[in-house]
Amino acid sequence: MTVEREDASPVRLRVHELADHLGVTSGDVIRRAQQLGIDAHSPLQSLSEADVGTLVEEFRSAEDVPSDHELVIELPTDGRVDEGSATRSGLMETLEARWGIGPMTRRLVVTAMSIVLGTVMLAVGYSFLRPAYAAEAQVFVGSTGTDSSLIERELRSFEVIANSPTVLAPVAEQFGLSLTDVREMLTTEIQNDSRIIRFEVTDPDPSTAESVAAAVVSSFVAEAGRASSGAFATYLEDRIADLEEAIDGLDADLAEQQSTLSSIEAERGRLESEIELATSKLVELESRLADVRSSADAPSGAATFLSGQIEETRATLDAQLAELDTLITSRVTPTELEIARLEEERARLIDELDDLRGNQLELEVDDIARPRVQVLSDARLSEEPAGLTPVKATALGVVVGGILASLWIVAATQLRREP
């Protein structure tokens, strides 16, 4: 056997390459190598020069290769393959050798797959993150007054009414929503120092957005008409009375919960005292037991008696600790959470009450001319949703897929480069 190479650097030959030179199959080489104790289990695995020589001699001795056959194996000098590079490029070489899939075809396939993958990802994202559709309506608030500051206060008061539970609660009930849901969907604003209040409702379902917007405007117009005919002072007084009643109810609930917490805390204090006494008793008994065991004059049976007392005290202490843990988990924590919730709700109602009282102080009821509320434009959907449309999502998917394909090709090219 002749091995040709240009330098003395260690080089390696793959199993399938040696099989080609010997005129046998890769399976024959692998089986013969395993019989000789050479680590070989893949056609792409590399063999050292010594292993190559051993295998060639073995095949010659078995007459698989004629002994007079001059075997010339050209080992590469600039393409040494180790286990890492074989792993990185094995798939590529298999594709080329068995299926004839070259680099250009692979790149086209990878590019197409990446574009499809990016488009699918964007389509899935679009299905879960649906665009929000907006429905808009405008309401004109007229007045016979001419004082600009008075008109401004009037408009602000109407905006407060538009966002009040009196207007939104019937809408929430009509559509099976919570009051918080309707408030999150609704946006109101006074447009450009005019007497127009703009209502906007957003929702992933365009028909829901339009229907809720129409219902909000209808409820507002009805309530505003009631407030106008009865004067703002009456409306504010009624609303303030409702809030005060609600706050009184919360105060009663808070007092009850705090009383419950006080009794629980008393029970908790009792348990902690008993635990402290049991712990002290246990320490004392263990100390006495240690003295008895170290004393030669200790009465017979004293150690046994003290050991029994210690076990009994430990059992009592464990039961008390378990009872304390149950008390904290099942009663203290839930009560504290309920108190926190009630205090948060009370603070929210007090803030709303303060706002209404501020409006009540600002309004000069006798000087307010009764306003006239009129729907300027009915609820209608905006031309485009505030988000991705299917066409935009597909186009963006193609772009993202192209970027992924480019990065994939660059990475594959780098991995195929020999060290």
pLDDT at res. 152: 80
Residue 121 is assigned to a structural domain of this protein:
no
Residue 153 binned pLDDT confidence (cut-offs 50, 70, 90) = confident
> In total, how many domains does the chain have?
2
Higher pLDDT, 85 or 273: 273
Tell me if residue 191 falls in helix, strand or coil: coil
Least confident of 4-18, 235-249, 253-267: 4-18
Are 151 and 12 in a shared domain? no
Are 198 and 54 in a shared domain? no
pLDDT at res. 4: 47
Are 184 and 248 in a shared domain? yes
Structural domain that includes position 375: 133-381
Q: Report the half-sphere exposure of 51 (CA within 13 A, side-chain side).
A: 22
pLDDT above 70 covers what percent of the chain? 67
Q: In CATH, what number is assigned to the domain containing residue 47?
A: 1.10.10.2480
Residue 94 is assigned to a structural domain of this protein:
no
Are 140 and 69 in a shared domain? no
pLDDT of 69 over the 60 cut: no
Residue 329 is assigned to a structural domain of this protein:
yes
Stretch 342-360: mean pLDDT: 88
Q: Which residues contact 156 (CB under 8 A, 6 or more apart)?
A: 190, 359
Residue 284 is assigned to a structural domain of this protein:
yes
Are 70 and 149 in a shared domain? no
Least confident of 57-71, 132-146, 211-225, 251-265: 57-71
Helix axis angle, 302-327 to 206-294, nearest 10°:
170
The residue to which tokens 């009821």 are assigned: 365
pLDDT at res. 107: 60
Are 44 and 177 in a shared domain? no
pLDDT at res. 349: 92
Residue 98 is assigned to a structural domain of this protein:
no
pLDDT of 246 over the 60 cut: yes
pLDDT at res. 182: 92
Are 37 and 163 in a shared domain? no
Q: What does the alpha-carbon distance between residue 139 and residue 195 come to, in Å, rounded to a whole number?
A: 8
Are 155 and 77 in a shared domain? no
pLDDT of 233 over the 90 cut: no
> Per-residue pLDDT tens for 185-199?
999 988 877 888 999
pLDDT at res. 77: 47
Residue 391 is assigned to a structural domain of this protein:
no
pLDDT of 126 over the 70 cut: no
Q: What does the alpha-carbon distance between residue 302 and residue 396 come to, in Å, rounded to a whole number?
A: 86
What type of residue sits at position 217?
A: V
Are 204 and 318 in a shared domain? yes
pLDDT above 90 covers what percent of the chain? 24
Residue 106 is assigned to a structural domain of this protein:
no
Q: In CATH, what number is assigned to the domain containing residue 304?
A: 1.10.287.620
Higher pLDDT, 82 or 70: 70
The residue to which tokens 């590529």 are assigned: 92
pLDDT of 2 over the 50 cut: no
Q: Which residues contact 16 (CB under 8 A, 6 or more apart)?
A: 26, 43, 44
Residue 53 binned pLDDT confidence (cut-offs 50, 70, 90) = confident
Are 218 and 138 in a shared domain? yes
Q: Which of 66, 81, 96 is the last residue of a domain?
A: 81
pLDDT at res. 222: 85
> Per-residue pLDDT tens for 394-404?
666 666 666 76
Residue 90 is assigned to a structural domain of this protein:
no
Are 159 and 306 in a shared domain? yes
Residue 418 binned pLDDT confidence (cut-offs 50, 70, 90) = very low
How many other CB atoms sit within 10 Å of the CB of residue 397? 22
Are 152 and 293 in a shared domain? yes
